[in-house]
Structure 1
């Protein structure tokens, strides 16, 4: 059972023991961030710092000349990842005997939304989500595909894992977030994530809808939710709130947009990558779900990419739709949070992996080697040793 640990360049650079420590966990691969969103991260073992604040989404290497003259282009990192931080960390990890794959965050960029507000998702009330680039917009799509290519195919990388390659919506790990006062449920989240930018409005019209009437219908459907009536989960709840005609048309539009972007980005990365380069997507098997684990159609995505990375900390059930529709050789990587303070269960990793294998997992991902405490990492090392 191949295991890989997620890691940031700042976990490794400046710490001569970091690469060996990660290899000592018993993993064979490091999934190293090359393009990442803003974050505030703990570095509990680093000899120079304990907190890293990445103030905006950035590439963690020097972007090349392909971006010259473009309106949308990746931002350089600040002092949290100067120069070719990715390359420096990758060399150290490879020197410790680890395979290195890139970790690329795509449709999640608050700074771009702030500087170019027209690129953002706009909800039915006219509120913009600056963290969520609308993947239906031609310029944004072109930017995301090119970023996927550049950030994925870094020197020496054996593969990539693409995060947020799909719709991003209301849910967001935002600083000082205060949006939990009303229980939106899965259906409310979907309605609050529908985009009404010009590109999406045109898309709804292509589905036979009047976008203004749709926006009114969405606001009307959400009225009982604002009064405290949390809707049930599942697509049936969306249809109950919005009606089958409206809901079906929105999903048809959004599913088609996401599928085409995923196929285009994977094809572009594959064309630029060396032979044998593996391309995985962080994915959720429910196509209308939004977020870092983009909603996908399992059969389609496994016909396009080499596999998926699936969140399994809360259980391994999300693996099953991929296992049922997979093709021979597809990678189904079960992703476990092993940071106890972030809801992980490093003490139960062995049991969780066994359950994941029963649901079709072929590999394991560990989130996150840099964030975890010494105790968490000790438990991980023990579990991986028992798994062999």
Structure 2
């Protein structure tokens, strides 16, 4: 067994304006960096920056110039110049990273935008109760797919990255939103949250009708199932009638596949040949950052998955991460598998503890470790990351995996 390749995640403001950035970034020991190029709103700590301690990225934004790429579109990304000081912070930060000899992947979030969604609620996910998730652009909408492809094309044209990390290829659902979360006390079960993530926007309704599905009956069934739910632990798979809503999932999978295909067309048209990583999940009900692999199987990318890294979240306990890696390997056997690992609280800031967790993921089949997050980590946590990466490489049987 060889050591997995380590990819560290960063925001542009983590290194811009910090003369010491090359030094502390080098201590992380990563093989490459995933740098935010199109990202949702966030308030982020900057624990080492000489001039600030927090960045308020108040809207989703594009971190390269938008130019005229979105001139005729309803959906237009915001500029990050207000909190980065430049319209092309991706390029400036990438230059710092490349100065260390590290490749740079453009971390590109596609359908998660409260800015674009807030101005275009008709293009967002709408649940069975008619409630709109303004942070969640629905890929069933052709304009959303065009917007996502334009994001990818502009990132490639202006950012010139070595690779792409694509997140939120499909729709976001009930969770992973932007406002202060005040729903935990309602104790909605995993099943209820999954049902509240099913979309009934105009495009999803049209897709139902085109397939001859009784969309209003489905909407009523979803509403009734939510209103009558009493078991706070019930999951979509274990609930009675678990297969009843699969036709709605089928529409979601097709929509996400269509969005990915438009992004692939943009990549082909660019003439670039970037390394591609996709945030993915073997869970057929998955929404949010990680697209269901059922969607990938319907994409034109599926026959080429041996050239792709499928990245699965491994943020929980070690045994949960191992199960996630194994499940993704089974769902996408021809792809490289990346484990998206957390180095922030509640994880311990301890190199040995992190190395033990990460080695278990490598043994389960993880080819890569996608480490979240170098810029958000305190200096002691950054040291723990670097120490853990070194331990994995130095452990007798482990050797650094070749970069594809």
Does TM, scored on the shorter chain, surpass 0.5?
yes
Paired position in structure 2 for 1:289: 286
* Match for residue 229 of structure 1 among 207, 219, 231: 231
Q: Aligned pair 1:358/2:355, yes or no? A: no
Bigger drift between 108-117 and 41-50 goes to: 108-117
C-alpha displacement at 1:325, in angstroms?
Answer: 4.7
- When residues 19 and 273 of structure 1 are mapped into structure 2, their CA distance, relative to the original with a 3 A threshold, is farther
The CA deviation at 1:153 is 5.3
Give the distance between the partners of 1:298 and 1:118, measured in 2 at CA. Answer: 23
Question: For the residues of structure 2 that align with 1:212 and 1:302, how far apart are their CA atoms?
Answer: 33
2:87 pairs with 1:83? yes
Q: CA deviation at 1:41?
A: 0.3
- Call closer, same or farther: CA 1:287–1:268 in 2, change over 3 Å: farther
Kindly indicate whether residue 305 of structure 2 is the aligned counterpart of residue 307 of structure 1.
Answer: no
Give the Cα–Cα distance (whole angstroms) in 2 for the partners of residues 21 and 184 of structure 1.
Answer: 42
The residue that corresponds to 1:139 in the other structure is: 143
TM-score scaled by structure 2? 0.88
Counterpart contact for 2:374–2:382, Cα < 8 Å = yes
Which of 368, 374, 388 is residue 373 of structure 2 equivalent to?
A: 368
| Structure 1 residue 32: Cα displacement | 0.3
Structure 1 range deviating more: 173-182 or 265-274: 265-274
State the alpha-carbon separation in 1 of the partners of residues 153 and 343 from structure 2: 29
For residues 33-52 of structure 1, what are the structure 2 equivalents within 5 Å? 33-52=36-55
Q: Which runs of 4+ in 1 moved over 6 A?
A: none
What is the SS of the residue equivalent to 2:322?
coil
Match of 2:124 among 120, 123, 143: 120
Alignment of 1:93 onto 2:91? no
Q: Does the CA-based 8 Å contact 1:103-1:152 persist in structure 2?
A: no
Q: Is the 8 A contact 1:255 1:288 kept in 2?
A: no
* Paired residues of 2:9 and 2:370 also in contact (CA < 8 A): yes
Q: Which residue of 2 aligns with 1:55?
A: 58
Structure 1 residue 149 and structure 2 residue 153: aligned?
Answer: yes
Q: In structure 2, list runs of 5 or more residues that go unmatched.
A: 394-404
Q: Which digits, 9 at most, give the CA deviation of each residue in 1:28-82, with x for residues without a partner?
A: 1111001110010000110010010011011012112222232222211142122
Residues 231-250 of structure 1: CA deviation (Å, up to 9, x unaligned):
5224242xx25x644x1211
- State the distance in 2 between where 1:113 and 1:155 align: 24
**Secondary structure, counterpart of 1:181 in structure 2:** helix
Secondary structure at 1:79's aligned position in 2? helix
Aligned-pair RMSD on alpha carbons?
2.0
Give ranges in structure 1 of 5+ residues lacking alignment.
none
Q: In the superposition, relative to structure 1, how do residues 141 and 194 fare at CA in structure 2: closer, same or farther (>3 Å)?
A: same
SS in 2 for 1:129: strand
Distance, in Å, in 2 between the alignment partners of 1:303 and 1:152 is 23
Structure number with the bigger relative contact order (C-alpha 8 A, sep ≥ 6) is: 2
Q: 1:248 aligns with which of 229, 246, 249?
A: 246
* Equivalent residue, structure 2, for 1:19: 22
How far, CA to CA, are the matches of 1:9 and 1:166 in structure 2? 25
1:64/1:141 CA distance change after superposition, 3 Å? same
Tell me the CA shift for residue 156 of structure 1: 4.0
Greater Cα shift, 21-30 or 161-170: 21-30
Partner of 1:187: 191
Please say if residues 153 and 160 of structure 1, whose CA atoms lie closer than 8 Å, have aligned partners that are also in contact.
Answer: no
Q: SS at the partner of 1:339? A: coil
Q: Distance in 2 between matches of 1:292 and 1:150?
A: 21
**TM-score when normalising by structure 1:** 0.92
